[in-house]
Amino acid sequence: MAAVIPVSIKTVSRRTGLTSHVIRAWERRYQAIEPERSQGRHRKYTERDVERLNLLTQAVRTGQLISRVAKMSNEELRSILENAIPDTQKGLHSEAPPESGALIEAAWHQTLDAIRSLDAHRFDSALQGALISLGDQGVLRRFIAPMARTVGALWHTGRMTAAQEHFFTASARAFIWNITRQYTVDESAPRIVVGTPSGQLHELGAVIAAAAAANAGWKVAFIGPNLPAFELAGAVQTVNANVLLLSLVYPEDDPKLPQELKSLKRLLPPHVSVIIGGRASSAYLDTIQKIGATLLSSLEDLDTNLDRLRKASFRAGAPSGL
């Protein structure tokens, strides 16, 4: 039998398109591969590891969750890939702009280039161009939100580094808050608390939702990411809000999150409405339904629910909150 020649992680990264960080994360978190170890405890990758990682990468790029496909055999992965709709048709992880038009397409590609080169000046210039073309709500819903999904997919599949994803989040957050300052809300407006629960470190989805709520006339208390249930409930009590909006982006398989959400429901007064959205939210559908929360499918869905709750508050004659 011929000796198995080990492959370096640099070579694995080049041949799969995954960053070294993602390769290790898929191994540690999902046991996607089990590389052998040298006497010095260094990983020794094989051609079989490269083949499996390529299959997993292709599956994830069709919209599959890595937490699900990592448990599949190579034969099962090939089967789902045979029936998968290509990225170009689904548009899930495509880097193509969601809007047509030369100016928007140029701004889209300029933004991606700025993210990859960590160029803050170019990033801001690109978003300013999109803002001029689309307006404040258009740039939020038709440019930044789709860009967030694209960047998240690129990071999740190893085609963008964590540093680049963090750069995008920080830069987009600053841009959103800057354009949100123009929304003036009086003290009688209904109040909403926006954040992410414990274990959810990605906050941009919550920032986008907070900006949308502010534009819809809500008095928003944005409290940031990764907060335990008692902190979220305390914030609702502090600002006298009757709506709590949570964003779930990653991970989609946190075993602790369902219990956090159930604890949160017990801590909140019965009249408080809980709204949950984000790319990972559907993975927790069972818990969301059990606690009586509303699951969002889009920003437009958020608009509909906020409008419904706002009208209900005025019918009830509430002077503030709901």
Q: Do 168 and 250 fall into the same domain? A: no
Q: Do 126 and 205 fall into the same domain? A: no
CA dihedral of 219, 205, 238, 303, whole degrees rounded to 10: 40
pLDDT at 216: 86
Q: Do 70 and 175 fall into the same domain? A: no
* CATH number for the domain that contains residue 16: 1.10.1660.10
pLDDT at 40: 74
Measure the CA–CA gap between 73 and 32, rounded to whole angstroms: 10
- Residue 244 sits at the vertex; the CA angle it makes with 238 and 248, to the nearest 5 degrees, is 130
* CATH number for the domain that contains residue 239: 3.40.50.280
Q: Do 24 and 113 fall into the same domain? A: no
pLDDT at 79: 87
**Where in the sequence is the domain holding 132, given as residue range(s)?**
102-179
Residue 55 lies in a domain: yes
269 burial via Cβ count (<10 Å: 0-12, 13-18, 19+): exposed
Residue 95 lies in a domain: no
Residue 320 lies in a domain: no
Question: What are the pLDDT tens digits along the chain (322 aa)?
Answer: 445 578 888 888 888 878 777 788 888 888 889 888 877 777 889 999 999 998 988 887 776 778 788 889 999 998 888 876 544 444 444 566 766 677 788 899 999 999 999 999 999 999 999 998 888 888 998 899 999 988 988 887 778 888 999 999 999 999 998 888 777 677 788 999 999 999 999 999 999 999 999 988 899 999 999 999 999 999 999 999 999 999 999 888 888 999 999 999 999 999 999 999 998 898 899 999 999 999 998 888 898 999 988 887 666 555 444 4
Domain stop point among 20, 55, 86: 86
Asked if 185 and 215 touch (Cβ cutoff 8 Å), the reply is no
Q: DSSP secondary structure string, 109-121?
A: HHHHHHHHHT-HH
Report if pTM > 0.75: no
pLDDT at 62: 72
Domain stop point among 179, 204, 228: 179
Domain stop point among 35, 54, 86: 86
46 burial via Cβ count (<10 Å: 0-12, 13-18, 19+): middle
Residue 165 lies in a domain: yes
Q: Do 133 and 244 fall into the same domain? A: no
Report the residue count for the chain: 322
* DSSP character at residue 4: P
Phi (first) and psi of residue 94, to 5 degrees: -75, 150
pLDDT at 313: 67
Name the domain count of the chain.
3
SS3 call for 290: helix
SS3 call for 294: strand
Q: Do 158 and 253 fall into the same domain? A: no
Residue 200 lies in a domain: yes
Q: Do 196 and 248 fall into the same domain? A: yes
Q: DSSP secondary structure string, 168-231?
A: HHHHHHHHHHHHHTT----TTS-EEEEEEETT----HHHHHHHHHHHHTT-EEEEEEEEE-HHH
Measure the CA–CA gap between 307 and 125, rounded to whole angstroms: 33
